[in-house]
Amino acid sequence: MHHFVEIDGALHAEDVPLTALAEAVGTPTYVYSTATLTRHYGLLRDAVDANRDALGDALIAFAVKANANLSVLATLARLGCGADTVSEGEIRRALAAGVPADRIIFSGVGKTDAELTFAVNAGVRQINVESSAELDRLVAVAAGLGATPEIAVRVNPKIGAGGHARITTGGEGDKFGVPVEEAMALYARASASPHVTPVGLACHIGSQITTLEPLEAAFRTLRQMTERLRAEGHAVTRLDLGGGLGVPYHSRTDLPSIEAYVAMASRVLDGLKVEAAFEPGRLLAANAGVLLSRVIQVNERGDGRRFLVLDAGMNDLMRPALYDAFHDLVPVRPREGEPRLYDLVGPICESTDIFARDRMLPPMQASDLVTFMGAGAYGAVLASEYNSRPLVAEVLVDGDRWAVVRARPTYDEMWAREPRADWLHPGSGAEI
C-alpha cells in the first residue's frame, strides 16, 4: 500500500497535488511519501516484535543503497531504523541522518583498508566479512587501531534468487559471500584472532524475491551452520538475514506478506536464541516513491507506433534499461477518451532509453504530467548526469507539507565541479 492517491481527478502525494510540485520544482523529480515509509517500517517492526521469542531484539537495518537521500534516512532513523551500508559514504550518510553507529551494519564485497578503518573508528555495530582476504585485512586494520570489531561472516549458500539474473547475489558463481565450508573455517580462524570478535553469520541471496522458499532454504543453511559452529565451541549470537523480499510493481497480490516472511524466519530460527537482523531496501522504499515527469511530445509514426517522449530518461531511472524492470506509468490527470498504446521513451540518445513498449494509456498530450510508480528504491540513487542532464531532484512529502530534499543542480553548479585544467584557462593560449 502507498500514499500516492487520486483526489478530485488528480494524483497526489499524500495531501500534496503532484501538479503543484511539478510547477514548483520542475520535472523530472522523485517524490517520496513519509506516510508510506512509516507504514512499511511499522509493518515490519510490528511483525518482528511479535516474534521476539525467536528473533530476539532484532535490528531492522535499511539498505541505504536503495535510497540514500538524507531526509529519507532521517525519516527512517527517527522511527528507530538502522542502516545496512556498503561504503564509507553510506556509513557517513547514515550517521549524518541520525542513525546511531550501533545500528549500522557494514557489508560489501570490496571494502578498502581506509573504509574498514573508518568503520572501526566509527564503532559500527558489525562488519560483515565477505572473504578470507578481507578478514586478513580487517585483522591488520583492527590490530593497528587496538580495536576488536564485531564481525559476521557473509555466507554464500549457493541459493541465488531474485527478480532478474542481474540482481541475484547468493548463487554459486556470484561474487558475494563465502561458500559454506570455507565460511565455517573462516569463522574458526576469526575466533582465534584477538583482533576481531565473530558474533554471527549473514546472508543476502538476491533482490525482488517473490517466493519464500529460497529465503527459507538460505535461513536453514544459517541455522545448520550456527548449530555446527556452536558444537565446535564458537559463540554465534546474531544472524543477519539480509533483504530481498519482493514488492508489487504490478498490481499482483500473490507476493508473500511481510507477516508471512517474518513468521517463516521466526519458524526457522526458533529455539536458536539469536538476535536477528533484517536488511530491507526495496521493501521499505520502492512504493514510497514515484518519479514525476512531463511529456515533451508524442511522436506518431505512419505505421501506427506512438512514442510518448518524456523529460525523464534512463539517466534518471535506470531500472528498465538495466534489468528490463517494470514500472507502472500513471497520468497525473488522466484525460477522457479511448485508451491507446504508447511506447514510453526518454530523450537520451541511446536505444536502451526506453521504459516500456505497448502500454495502454488514456490519450496523452505534450506537457501532461505522468508518474512512474514504485520508483522509491534504486531510482534516484542510480541516476546520473548522462547527456549533461542536471541530476534529478528529490522531494519529500509529509501530509500537506513538502520539501526539496535534493536540489536539481544549476548548470553553473555542474560546471563548478569540473575545474578547468590550468593550461586550458582562458588567456593561457589554448583558445580556439
Catalog residues that contact ligand LLP under the rule CB under 6 A: 63, 65-66, 84, 107, 167, 169, 204, 207-208, 242-244, 279-283, 319, 323, 377-378
Q: How far is the CB of 286 from ligand LLP (least distance, A)?
A: 8
Q: Which residue has the cell 510540485?
A: 21
Rg (CA), the chain: 23
CB of 225 to ligand LLP, least distance (A): 17
3-state secondary structure of 332: coil
Beta strand 393-398 with 369-372 is unpaired
* Residue with Cβ nearer ligand LLP (282 or 389): 282
Cα gap 161→242, rounded to integer Å: 13
Query: Whose Cβ is closer to ligand LLP: residue 71's or residue 207's?
Result: 207
Q: Which is nearer to ligand LLP, 109 or 296 (CB)?
A: 109
Nearest CB to ligand LLP, comparing residues 33 and 208: 208
Min separation Cβ 240 and ligand LLP, Å = 8
Burial of 430 (0-12, 13-18, 19+ CB in 10 A): exposed
Instruction: Tell me, yes or no, if 203 is annotated catalytic.
Output: no
CA distances from 24 to 18, 29, 126, 258 (A): 10, 11, 42, 36
Shortest distance (Å) from residue 167 CB to ligand LLP: 4
Supply the minimum distance, in Å, between the C-beta of residue 68 and ligand LLP: 12
Distance of CA 348 to CAs 54, 290, 371, 394, Å?
Answer: 50, 20, 18, 20
Q: Which is nearer to ligand LLP, 245 or 393 (CB)?
A: 245
Instruction: Considering the candidates 1, 194, 304, 349, report the single residue annotated as catalytic.
Output: 349
Q: What is the DSSP letter of 15?
A: T
- Count of beta carbons in the 10 Å neighbourhood of residue 426: 8
Nearest Cα neighbor of 75 from 48, 103, 36 is 36
Q: For 139-148, b where at least 16 C-beta lie within 10 A, e where not — what string? A: bebbeeeeee
Residue among 377 and 396 whose Cβ is closer to ligand LLP: 377
Q: Smallest gap, in angstroms, from Cβ of residue 277 to ligand LLP?
A: 10
Question: Beta-carbon neighbour count of residue 382 at 10 Å?
Answer: 17
Give me the active site residues, please.
349
